[in-house]
Copies of this chain bind each other. A is one copy, B any other.
Amino acid sequence: MKESPLFWPIKLENNTIFCLDETALPDKLSYLKAQDTKQALELIKGMKTRAFGQVLMAYNIFLLLLKKTRSLKPEKQIKVLKTAAQKINQSRPTFPFTFFTAMVLAWAKEAQQNKKNISLVVKDKINGFLVDLRQKRIDQALTLSRLIKDGASILTHCNVSGSLVLVAQFCCQQGKKIRFFVTETRPYLQGLRLTAWELQRAKFNVTIVADNTAAYLMSQGLVNLVVVGADQLAKNGDIANKIGTYQIALLAHKFHLPFYVLSPPPSPAKTGKDIKIELRPEKELLEFSGKRIAPKGAKGFYPAFDVTPHSLITKHITLDL
């Protein structure tokens, strides 16, 4: 199966992190480079990569640092990793970076206690984890594909980092014909620019709609289930995902449509109320391609995520790490 470039958007080669520039899609399939933590975090903050790309970016920041610091004393090396972890955790508020950075710090401390070479041990641990993660993401897509019936018309919002292409490929292998409606997902247009792009290039049937069209599609029987991803899963099953997910979930509930979530592992948040919602700069809403589209002086309000309570979620397809 051919993988979507969005499935694994970050790579480390020759001391350089290559990051798929999601803001250049669908016009250009290109990669931005980062050679240190600061540059890498700028790519996250500027949303050049997002969602699953942020997980890969975090691990690759550590891999890069481990290469650069291998001649340092263990205490010093741990300190560098800790500082990086803090910066990663603070880069964007809604994504649960701590889950991933704490894992790396724990490996480093274990290596230090066992008097092992931190660089080698942690590098191996990270690479092993990423191999495992890749397989588990594939398994997750397979699990979801088995829940989808032949002839299904799936509404999706934002972008699930290549997973829907896999889901569609598995459905195809299982002899099932499916189609997608993709919300454009304002203001960043991840649905129009990324999801429609990756499904289209993999030759699946995909139709773009304005975010305003969800209830209309449901009321006309044009979609019969919803699939989204999640940026954070709380312990009680609530999720934080791209703004607009919550209202689609409310509408799916009203129309008795299954609402499936491709979920990450649970974060320390007990419920959705413990998840901090990132407010992005208003210009991301009020400008288009760098040109202001809103009236002069008008204000914008752009919460980048919302919380969907577990009661509206038919099933989590979790990624068990």
Query: B-contacting residues of A (Cβ < 8 Å)?
Result: 26, 181, 183-187, 189, 192-193, 196-197, 200-201, 206-216, 219, 242-244, 246-247, 250-251, 254, 285-286, 288-289, 293-303, 306
Q: A197-B298, A294-B196, A297-B200 are in contact. Are A210 and B250 (CB under 8 A)?
A: no
Q: Knowing A250-B250, A286-B208, A288-B288, say if A181 contacts B301 (CB, 8 Å).
A: yes
How far does the alpha carbon of A197 sit from the alpha carbon of B296 in the complex, in Å? 8
Nearest B residue to A300 via CB reads: B208
A216 and B246 within 8 A (CB): yes
Closest 4 CB pairs of A and B: A212-B244, A215-B247, A26-B295, A197-B295
Contact between chains at B196 and A298 (CB < 8 Å): yes
* Interface SS majority for chain A: mixed
Distance in angstroms from A229 CB to nearest chain B CB is 15
Contact residues in B for A244 (Cβ distance below 8 Å): 210-213
Q: How far is the CA of A247 from the CA of B246 in the complex (A)?
A: 12
User: Can you list 25 contacts pairing A with B, beta carbon distance less than 8 Å?
Assistant: A184-B186, A184-B187, A184-B285, A185-B212, A189-B293, A192-B286, A192-B293, A192-B294, A192-B298, A193-B294, A196-B298, A197-B298, A206-B298, A206-B299, A207-B298, A207-B299, A208-B301, A210-B243, A211-B212, A212-B243, A212-B244, A213-B301, A215-B246, A216-B306, A250-B250
**9 additional contacts (CB under 8 A) given A207-B299, A209-B285, A250-B254:** A26-B295, A184-B186, A200-B296, A200-B297, A209-B301, A215-B247, A216-B243, A219-B246, A254-B254
Question: Does B243 contact A247, Cβ atoms closer than 8 Å?
Answer: no
Most chain B beta-carbon contacts within 10 A, residue among A244, A247, A300:
A247
Considering the chains assembled together, what is the distance between the CA atoms of A250 and B187 in angstroms?
A: 22
Query: Which of B187, B247, B285, B306 has a CB less than 8 Å from the CB of A251?
Result: B247
Closest B residue to A183 by beta carbon equals B212
